[in-house]
Amino acid sequence: MAEINIKELKRYCNPSYITVRRDKLIINSKRLARLSKGKIKEIEKNFGIPLIYSKNYELISQSMGRYISKYGIITPRDTVIVGLSGGKDSLALLHLLEPYRRRYGIKIYAITVDLNIENIRPWNPQNSNMKRIIEHCNALNIPHRIISFDKDIVKMSELLSDNSTGIAYSPCFSCSIVRRYILTNFAKDIVENIEKDSQNNSNVNNKINGKVKICFGHTLEDNSDTILANIFKGDIIKALKPVKNFNTAMFDFKEFKLNLHECTIIRPLLSVSEKNIERALDECGIEYYRDKEECPYSRNRGDSIRRKSHEILENLEKDVKNIREMVVSSVLKSIK
């Protein structure tokens, strides 16, 4: 299916508030996109694809938009590298970011890290579910790469724990370090290539006007679960930050070392609930990869503190609807 002609689409609406796919268009804000019922019918007729309105998709789009504005998460001309597992959160994030290419002039790359978890590889290119992820990226016209990492992250955590004093590192910790390692390497390559092009071709302005940022789909649930889990572990109470700068770091796993480059990590979905994301994707007919069902260390498996924290907050939510927002708000006020 051919790419959508954005100039032509501008004749009917403001495409900066529409997620543009080759097979469908999804409304992020009906008001800001300047869409009426008549215009929606015209667009569907002239472009030959459905224009979808989902109340929940509009809700999460507006929530993310306010959060981005409040914390300055994305700025004009940024290059955003999305860590794409293909699960509901990262896939929703990719769709919600797509209009920012027109709104802020950003560039987007999607990277899936193929991890080895005791010889289980949920994101291996040969996994049939990866086909779905690739199809979504093609439909959104967003460059996508699968980058493999062969070392067993469970063994990595064991090595780190054995060589640390009184600290037990979970496979999830090693997983996060490896993802950051892969994504910061990719970000470094992008910066170097742009700078090289600028030096070699003085007639082309390839200057980086914005920043190169690594983007994760962490949600309200991830943030509140993290806070409660830290309390139960007797750790420092801290929340996930919308924007966080990291310096270079070396992680020593004895048998091998990982050098992490400096980076900026952004989390635009921290104000958004997973339940609303799931409803929005279902209403828009966007199929996501249930990758957590394949990972043996995911939140919904095992008997971890993080799972218990999630279950406690989930039960409290039945009586106190905004309990997760209250937990995050309390910690942020305490930190200030």
* pLDDT above 90: residue 237: no
Q: Fill in the amino acid letter for 14.
A: N
Answer yes or no: are the C-beta atoms of 57 and 27 closer than 8 Å: yes
* pLDDT above 80: residue 183: yes
Burial class (CB in 10 A: 0-12, 13-18, 19+), 82: buried
Please tell me the predicted confidence (pLDDT) of residue 249: 92
pTM over 0.75: yes
Q: Fill in the amino acid letter for 243.
A: V
Instruction: Name the pLDDT band for 253 (thresholds 50, 70, 90).
Output: confident
CATH no. of 54-302: 3.40.50.620
DSSP class per residue in 134-178: HHHHHHHT--EEEEEEEEEHHHHHHHHHHTSSS----HHHHHHHH
Q: Fill in the amino acid letter for 232.
A: F
The SS3 call for residue 281 is helix
| Burial call 229-245: b when 16+ CB within 10 Å, e when fewer | bbeeeeeeeebbbbbee
Please tell me the predicted confidence (pLDDT) of residue 53: 97
Kindly state the average pLDDT of the residues 123-129. 91
* More confident: 72 or 160: 72
Instruction: Name the pLDDT band for 207 (thresholds 50, 70, 90).
Output: very low
Instruction: Name the pLDDT band for 178 (thresholds 50, 70, 90).
Output: very high
Please tell me the predicted confidence (pLDDT) of residue 206: 46
Summarize pLDDT for 17-69 with one digit per residue, the tens: 999 999 999 999 999 999 999 999 999 999 999 999 999 999 999 999 999 99
Summarize pLDDT for 276-303 with one digit per residue, the tens: 999 999 999 999 998 877 788 776 665 6
In what side-by-side order are the strands of the sheet with 25-27? 18-20, 25-27, 51-52
Answer yes or no: are the C-beta atoms of 274 and 219 closer than 8 Å: yes
Neighbours of 72 (CB within 10 A): 10
Distance from C-alpha of 126 to C-alpha of 134, rounded to nearest angstrom? 12
* pLDDT above 70: residue 70: yes
Please tell me the predicted confidence (pLDDT) of residue 171: 86
Instruction: Name the pLDDT band for 205 (thresholds 50, 70, 90).
Output: very low
Q: What token pair was written down for 63?
A: 């929530």
In the chain, residues under CATH classification 3.40.50.620 are 54-302
Kindly state the average pLDDT of the residues 119-125. 92
Please tell me the predicted confidence (pLDDT) of residue 192: 82
* pLDDT above 90: residue 164: no
* pLDDT above 50: residue 201: yes
* pLDDT above 70: residue 146: yes
Q: What is the mean pLDDT of the chain?
A: 91
- The percent helix, strand, coil of the chain (3-state, each to 5) is 45, 15, 40
Please tell me the predicted confidence (pLDDT) of residue 204: 46
